[in-house]
Amino acid sequence: MLDHRLAKRFKHLSKWSRRTDAPCFRVYERDIPEFPLVVDWYDGDVVAWLHPRTRDDTPDRVDEHERACVQHIVRGLAIDPSRLFIKHRQRQRGLAQYERVDTRGVVRTVREHGLSFEVNLSDYLDTGLFLDHRTTRGLVRARASGLRVLNLFAYTGAFTCHAAAGGASHTRTVDLSNTYLAWARRNMVLNGFSGNAHCFEQADCLQWLERPTRGEAYDIIVLDPPTFSNSKRMLADSFSVERDWPWLIASTMRWLDPRGQLWFSTNARSFTADPALVPPGVVMRDISKYTLPEDFAGRTPHHAYLVAHAGAPGAVDLRVKRGGWPA
């Protein structure tokens, strides 16, 4: 059953990926209850994340299930077993999802809409490229020409690369991890972007937002914070996007040009932006359904919002065009 599901999805999505220049895509996401796993295709390589099944699973049953999953994936996608990378998804705390889990260093360069990105298939829980934000990155790219772009909680800088490809006049990439900032720099260099117009800063974004702006402002801000963190390296004792989003939005708006737009997103599945909690002088539009690519259709991998200063020209542009794309 899983073999058939994987083969069918891959046949459909591989045609779509060639048509849209997206050779990395999600093939399967817990579609069959007996197989709670996620499978992503990385242009010939496959990464699969196994989720826990039941609380009373024994180690032997877990190992048996993993062997079965490997066999199904190899058959369903017709790949050599050496091209498959198995990972285990557990409940994460702090920044654990960004910590090293292996040392093999299997690194590939993959393409997305004409750009190149480095992915690490083996060493971290995530690969360095969040596939569900592919469409959102394209939307930012389409609007970036001549604009100043700030990428907060930037991870490996994929949004920065798309902004630069769209003609951004200046980018600033901020992340707590030096490892991921170095990765972001490599991604930018892969695409031919370097020089003083593109800045990288290692900082706790929560603390960075609190400092005086001194007149510094951005036309586009990308804000994709972790769902939760209690990392000792962060300023706050803990951060929860579901609890702290009003403060986070208000703090970020200080850095947004009056005509600018803030692109805010979160992977918290149960997230709701209560209109009563939206900071004064701010307008928010839920654009989640417009940011989901074909391989995530029918799912809710993230919630996405366009945010602007109320009454400013940027707020007018939060309307939705005919055809379904944000204006």
Chain segment 4-56, per-residue pLDDT in tens: 999 999 999 999 999 999 999 999 999 999 999 999 999 999 999 999 887 77
Of the candidate ranges 149-158, 232-241, 260-269, the one whose mean pLDDT is the lowest: 232-241
92-96, 235-239, 273-277 — which one is most confidently predicted on average? 273-277
Q: What is the pLDDT of residue 99?
A: 67
- Is residue 142 located within the same domain as residue 257? yes
Are 242 and 282 contacting, i.e. CB atoms less than 8 angstroms apart? Answer: no
Query: What is the average per-residue pLDDT within 189-201?
Result: 97
Per-residue pLDDT, averaged over 286-291, amounts to: 93
In the listed set 90, 113, 147, which residue is the last one of a domain according to the structure? Answer: 90
- Domain check: are 136 and 275 in the same one? yes
The CATH number for 63's domain is: 3.30.750.80
Beta-sheet strands, E only, within 53-177:
84-88, 107-112, 115-120, 148-152, 170-175
- Residue 126 reports pLDDT greater than 80: yes
CB 196 within 8 A of CB 223: no
| Rounded mean pLDDT, 277-303 | 94
Indicate whether 78 and 141 sit together in one domain.
no
How many distinct structural domains can be found in the chain?
2
Full residue range of the structural domain in which residue 264 is found: 132-316
Kindly list the distances between the CA atom of residue 46 and the CA atoms of 42, 108, 116, in Å, as whole numbers in the listed order.
6, 12, 18
Strands (E), 159-210: 170-175, 198-202
162 shares its domain with 291: yes
Please indicate, yes or no, if residue 95 is contained in any of the structural domains: no
Q: Could you tell me the sign of the dihedral formed by the alpha carbons of 64, 70, 72, 75, in that order?
A: negative
**Whether pLDDT at 138 is above 70:** yes
Kindly state whether residues 275 and 177 are assigned to the same domain: yes
Q: How confident is the model at residue 213 (pLDDT cuts 50, 70, 90)?
A: very high
Task: Report the C-alpha gap between 128 and 47 in whole angstroms.
Answer: 12
Q: What is the pLDDT of residue 319?
A: 55
Return the pLDDT at 113: 96
Domain-ending residue, one of 90, 118, 152: 90
Q: Does some domain include residue 114?
A: no
Whether residue 74 sits in one domain with residue 192? no
* Mean pLDDT score across all residues of the chain: 91
Shared domain for 288 and 173, answered yes or no, is yes
Instruction: Identify whether residues 136 and 84 lie together within a single domain.
Output: no
CB 26 within 8 A of CB 135: no
Per-residue confidence (pLDDT) for residue 60, from 0 to 100: 87
What are the backbone dihedrals phi and psi of residue 85, each rounded to the nearest 5 degrees, phi first? -120, 115
Residue 33 within a domain: yes
pLDDT > 60? residue 172: yes
- How much is the pLDDT for 100? 72
Does residue 138 form part of some domain? Answer: yes
Q: Is the pLDDT of residue 101 over 90?
A: no
At residue 59, the pLDDT reads 85
SS3 state at 182: helix
Report the pLDDT value the prediction gives residue 231, as an integer from 0 to 100: 60
Q: Cα–Cα–Cα angle for 248, 134, 194, nearest 5°?
A: 80
Q: Does 70 fall in a domain?
A: yes
User: Residues with Cβ < 8 Å from 156, sequence gap 6 or more?
Assistant: 117, 118, 128, 129, 180, 183, 184, 187
44 with 154, same domain? no
Q: Model pTM? A: 0.92
The per-residue pLDDT for 102 is 75
Residues 80 and 153 grouped into a single domain: no
pLDDT attached to residue 54? 74
In a domain, 124, yes or no: no
Asked if pLDDT for residue 323 goes beyond 50, the answer is no
> Is 209 in the same domain as 284?
yes
Percent of the chain residues topping a pLDDT of 70: 90
Question: Where is pLDDT greater, at 98 or 68?
Answer: 68
Q: What is the three-class DSSP state of 304?
A: strand
